[in-house]
């Protein structure tokens, strides 16, 4: 750590639904994840975030733990339905109070809050009544919600992240159906992504116009693996680059260059929405920093049209759009989520971002290793797993900095044990526990579908 710049930010990260619990306490409204977890066979072992680690009640203890570990920054998310139970209209003052107290407690312990506005727990009402991220009007809703957060917390919060991983929301939520709201489609991901970007930009606009006096910074966090060409053949090199553009360029090009990558336009035709002139201008330049969640690397090779297996680990249900096949090297160590440990992929990714987007300030807002921890006498020996992962990845970060990358901070995922979405709380996950191909498709009239589900599986259960 001493080899890093003296003002480098060292932090850890979490998200609301994964740790808070208190899913219906003090006026919180339901989110799409509350509902999704009630659907049979969607979450491993039928787990849910109803209680999680009960951070809602125990946040002071949790912050004391953070302090004892020497963390100076903490990235958490606000649950939209906790502060606005229906996603619009009425504000839940008790929810506001919770986050306000959390922020005060962090500051009292000399820990800087980094706040994400959206880490996937959309208010259920916006899904059932308005079709969530598929509806243009979500940008109006998100702007109002963001404005509320800036006005109530912006006096103390100076680091904002609008969205966490819009790729995951789009691909797993609207492409594969593995995550809430469970839609399966090869066009909806592109529409959802478009509205996510528009919503992000609207929040940034209101922050810059109304809250400039708060002197904070605002950006978006995207996730990306590294894609290494499987061979030196030009077509595999091109395939790896294409995979990067479909993964990260999809969300970062509009922000840094003003439009989606050309290769996406060529391949997707009308499935890729067009930005109106107004939206293009609003999205361009809408991030003060480059937020990056990074975990793993895969080899990428060119395939012939239509050849690609629908693999959850990589491309999602829209693999055919890319004609890239992904693989891992058998010698690579795997995490409990079957993600390969490849530190040099982290360095290459940072350098790719730096080159493509003209050296933005980058913060790694998530990076970490899921372990099948074995507790012996109250302790876990993770020297060859988590610890060596952090050493490897931080060494790669340092090399990237030495090579000119403006990396300014690093947040470990995760501060606490937490609910790992569709994988629940298991310590040994494996990604393919369910055959996503056979999952029932959630119909467009999600209002009807969700209300049936809620009736059948009470949210309290």
**Can you give the binding site for ligand GAL, defined by CB under 6 A?**
15, 18, 164-165, 168, 223, 293, 366, 370, 413, 420-421
131, two tokens: 């079709």
Q: 164 or 176: whose CB is closer to ligand GAL?
A: 164
Q: Are 264 and 286 in contact (CB under 8 A)?
A: no
Q: C-beta of 147: minimal distance to ligand GAL in Å?
A: 24
Q: C-beta of 167: minimal distance to ligand GAL in Å?
A: 9
Q: Would you give the distance in Å from CA 59 to the centre of its chain?
A: 22
Q: 10 or 425: whose CB is closer to ligand GAL?
A: 425
Catalytic residue among 143, 165, 188, 228: 165
Q: 63 or 172: whose CB is closer to ligand GAL?
A: 172
Q: 197 or 224: whose CB is closer to ligand GAL?
A: 224
Q: At 86, is the secondary structure helix, strand, or coil?
A: coil
Q: 393 or 449: whose CB is closer to ligand GAL?
A: 393
Q: C-beta of 80: minimal distance to ligand GAL in Å?
A: 15
Output 333-336 pairs: Cβ under 8 A, ≥24 positions apart: 335/295, 335/296, 335/369, 335/370, 335/371, 335/385, 335/389, 336/370, 336/371, 336/372, 336/427, 336/428, 336/429
Q: C-beta of 31: minimal distance to ligand GAL in Å?
A: 14
What whole-number distance in Å separates Cα of residue 313 and Cα of residue 331? 18
Residues 6 or more apart from 119 whose CB is under 8 A from it?
A: 15, 16, 17, 18, 77, 164
Q: C-beta of 236: minimal distance to ligand GAL in Å?
A: 26
Using DSSP bridges, classify how beta strands 297-302 and 226-229 pair: parallel, antiparallel or unpaired: parallel
Q: C-beta of 77: minimal distance to ligand GAL in Å?
A: 9
What whole-number distance in Å separates Cα of residue 439 and Cα of residue 329? 30
Q: C-beta of 433: minimal distance to ligand GAL in Å?
A: 15
Q: 62 or 165: whose CB is closer to ligand GAL?
A: 165
What whole-number distance in Å separates Cα of residue 220 and Cα of residue 218? 7
Give, as one character, the DSSP assignment of residue 81.
Answer: H
Residues 6 or more apart from 3 whose CB is under 8 A from it?
A: 398
Q: Is residue 70 classed exposed, middle or buried when 0-12, 13-18 and 19+ CB atoms within 10 A define those classes?
A: exposed
Q: 12 or 18: whose CB is closer to ligand GAL?
A: 18
What whole-number distance in Å separates Cα of residue 411 and Cα of residue 460? 33
Residue 366 designated active-site: yes
Q: 77 or 127: whose CB is closer to ligand GAL?
A: 77
Q: C-beta of 304: minimal distance to ligand GAL in Å?
A: 30
Q: Is residue 219 classed exposed, middle or buried when 0-12, 13-18 and 19+ CB atoms within 10 A define those classes?
A: buried
Q: 92 or 293: whose CB is closer to ligand GAL?
A: 293
Positive or negative, the Cα torsion across 270, 272, 278, 280? negative
Catalytic residue among 130, 188, 228, 366: 366
Residue 165 designated active-site: yes
Encode burial over 392-404: b for 16+ CB neighbours within 10 A, e otherwise: bbbebbbbbbeee
Q: C-beta of 179: minimal distance to ligand GAL in Å?
A: 10
Q: At 247, is the secondary structure helix, strand, or coil?
A: helix
Q: Are 23 and 49 in contact (CB under 8 A)?
A: yes
Q: Is residue 432 classed exposed, middle or buried when 0-12, 13-18 and 19+ CB atoms within 10 A define those classes?
A: exposed
223, two tokens: 């996730």
Tally the C-alpha atoms within 13 A of residue 374's C-alpha that lie toward its C-beta: 5
Catalytic residue positions, numbered: 165, 366
């Amino acid at each position: 750590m001493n080899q890093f710049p003296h003002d480098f930010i060292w932090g850890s990260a979490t998200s609301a639904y994964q740790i808070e619990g208190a899913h219906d306490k003090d006026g919180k409204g339901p989110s799409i994840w509350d509902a999704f977890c009630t659907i049979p066979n969607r979450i491993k072992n039928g787990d849910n975030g109803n209680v999680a680690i009960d951070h809602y009640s125990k946040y002071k203890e949790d912050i004391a733990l953070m302090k004892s570990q020497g963390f100076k920054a903490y990235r958490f998310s606000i649950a939209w339905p906790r502060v606005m139970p229906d996603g619009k209209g009425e504000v839940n003052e008790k929810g506001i109070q919770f986050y306000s107290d959390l922020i005060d407690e962090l500051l009292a312990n000399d820990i800087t809050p980094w706040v994400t506005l959206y880490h996937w727990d959309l208010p259920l009402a916006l899904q059932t009544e308005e079709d969530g991220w598929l509806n243009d009007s979500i940008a109006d809703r998100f702007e109002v919600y963001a404005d509320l957060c800036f006005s109530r917390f912006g006096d103390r919060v100076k680091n904002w992240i609008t969205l966490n991983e819009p790729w995951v929301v789009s691909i797993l939520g609207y492409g594969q159906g593995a995550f809430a709201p469970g839609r399966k489609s090869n066009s909806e991901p592109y529409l959802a992504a478009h509205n996510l970007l528009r919503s992000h930009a609207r929040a940034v606009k209101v922050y810059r116009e109304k809250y400039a006096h708060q002197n904070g910074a605002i950006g978006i966090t995207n996730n990306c693996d590294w894609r290494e060409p499987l061979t030196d053949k030009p077509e595999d090199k091109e395939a790896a680059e294409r995979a990067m553009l479909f993964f990260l360029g999809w969300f970062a090009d509009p922000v840094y260059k003003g439009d989606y990558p050309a290769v996406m336009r060529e391949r997707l035709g009308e499935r890729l929405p067009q930005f109106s002139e107004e939206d293009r201008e609003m999205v361009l330049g809408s991030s003060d920093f480059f937020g990056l969640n990074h975990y793993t690397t895969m080899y990428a090779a060119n395939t012939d049209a239509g050849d690609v297996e629908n693999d959850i680990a990589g491309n999602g249900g829209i693999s055919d759009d890319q004609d890239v096949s992904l693989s891992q090297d058998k010698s690579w160590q795997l995490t409990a989520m079957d993600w390969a440990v490849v530190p040099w992929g982290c360095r290459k990714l940072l350098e790719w971002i730096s080159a493509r987007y003209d050296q933005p300030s980058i913060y790694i807002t998530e990076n970490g290793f899921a372990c099948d921890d074995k507790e012996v006498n109250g302790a876990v020996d993770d020297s060859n797993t988590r610890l060596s992962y952090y050493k490897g990845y931080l060494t790669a970060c340092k090399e990237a900095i030495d090579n000119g990358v403006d990396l300014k901070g690093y947040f470990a995922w995760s501060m606490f044990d937490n609910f790992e979405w569709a994988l629940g709380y298991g310590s040994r996950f494996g990604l393919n526990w369910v055959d996503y191909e056979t999952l029932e498709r959630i119909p467009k009239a999600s209002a009807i579908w969700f209300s049936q589900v809620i009736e059948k599986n009470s949210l309290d259960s």
